[in-house]
Amino acid sequence: MDDFFRSVLGVGLDSKDIDVLQMALRAVIVYVVTICIIRMGKKRFMGGATVYDVILGIIVGSIASRAITGNAPLLPAGGAIAVLVGLHWSFSAIAVRSKSFGNLIKGTSDVIIRDGQIDYDRLRKAHMSDGDLEEDLRSAGVADVRDVLEARLERSGELSVIKKKMP
């Protein structure tokens, strides 16, 4: 059986000794396993991604790429991905029940505009220029800041805008 895995997947070989077919098969296995593991996580992962979600995506991608190229053993890399997704799921479950824990790992939103008035201190703190804010407002269909009841820089980095009701 060891000879089978060695010849088909290049298990036990140095990364430089893995051929194209072995790496392609590793890629298929890592892809399918990673999709299964991520699907066991949470639906929002990478959908409305926060920094917290993006970090997991980067780490999973790094581990998966090392498993594909043979720079990390296939099975332990899959285990590491599963543990990270499980940890991410656990942290998310705790964050749902504890607002302070959620704020700690996911961050908070910041009110940038309230009743048509820009909070320039928060704008600078968020490292947003006036041009960035204007672009985000235009994307929300707002031409004049005075038409905004509230605009928040969300945890995902997107600006959510609530327009004033027009008479």
77-106: average pLDDT: 90
Q: For position 156, what pLDDT does the model report?
A: 78
Proportion of the chain above pLDDT 90, given as a percent: 40
pLDDT of 163 reads 95
> In the CATH scheme, what architecture does the domain 108-163 have?
2-Layer Sandwich (3.30)
Each residue's pLDDT tens digit, 137-146: 999 999 999 9
Could you tell me the residue ranges of all domains in the chain?
Answer: 2-104, 108-163
Report helix, strand or coil for 20.
helix
pTM of the model: 0.68
Secondary structure string (H, E, C) spanning 50-105 = CHHHHHHHHHHHHHHHHHHHCCCCHHHHHHHHHHHHHHHHHHHHHHHHCHHHHHHH
pLDDT digits 0-9 by tens, 19-59: 788 888 888 888 888 887 777 665 555 556 677 788 888 99
